[in-house]
Amino acid sequence: MSIATHDLVDISKVCVIGPECTGKSELSKYLASHFDTTWVPEYARAYLDKLGRPYQQSDLLKIAHGQVRLEDEWVRDAKRVVICDTNLITIKIWSDYKYGRCDDEILDLIKSRTYSLYLLNYIDVPWVDDPQREHPDKREFFWQLYRQEVMHTNVPFIEIKGSWEQRQQLAQEAIEKLILKG
């Protein structure tokens, strides 16, 4: 079933964001199932899995384009809300940290994207090693960067903390308020 372009205005975009290994993907999948809607996976994970070499700064622009493309595709099948497992802010943070700057095109893309709510995942869950995760010793540092970036968007956000059940409850309540308001 296809949604007409004018109906996309009624779709709220919720972005689950935060440092690596904070349960973003798990929470995104759960919320999409709970609200019977779509979720946009993190494009970077699939891209890096297929890359076959360490990523370079030029790869970040390709990842940004892929993330935007996925988001635009999946929002068409959403019902009331689409859950985004991260967004371009993550690419900006990693680019600034690793390369000391972020590509202007990525910054322009960030400005062009709109979200209704951020669910900012805290670092109070155990670290799980993964070949794509880089900084288990800098979790607090990165969480502060994410918090600052999200605060600068002027989009409402809620910090997601606690047990799995508490995280689910906080996220569900925030999305329900958003949907009722909309």
**d(C-alpha 71, C-alpha 24), whole Å:** 16
Confidence of residue 136 (pLDDT cuts 50, 70, 90): confident
* Number of alpha carbons in the 13 Å side-chain half-sphere of residue 11: 24
Please report, for the domain that includes residue 158, its CATH number: 3.40.50.300
Residue 31: pLDDT band with limits 50, 70, 90: very high
Residue 134 pLDDT > 80: no
Indicate the SS3 state at residue 35.
Answer: coil
pLDDT for res 2:
38
Average pLDDT, the chain: 91
* Distance of alpha carbon 134 from alpha carbon 66, whole angstroms: 21
What gap in Å lies between CA 167 and CA 182, rounded to an integer? Answer: 23
Predicted structure pTM score:
0.91
Q: In this structure, are residues 132 and 48 in contact, taking their beta carbons and an 8 Å threshold? A: yes
For residue 139, the enclosing domain spans: 5-181
Handedness of CA 11, 20, 68, 34 (dihedral sign): negative
Res. 131 pLDDT band, cuts 50 70 90: low
Q: Could you give the number of structural domains in the chain? A: 1
Q: How confident is the model at residue 156 (pLDDT cuts 50, 70, 90)?
A: very high
Higher pLDDT residue, 167 or 3?
167
| Contacts with 145 (C-beta within 8 Å, 6 or more apart), sequence order | 93, 97
Per-residue confidence (pLDDT) for residue 3, from 0 to 100: 37
pLDDT digit string (tens) for 69-101?
Answer: 999 999 999 999 999 999 999 999 999 999 999
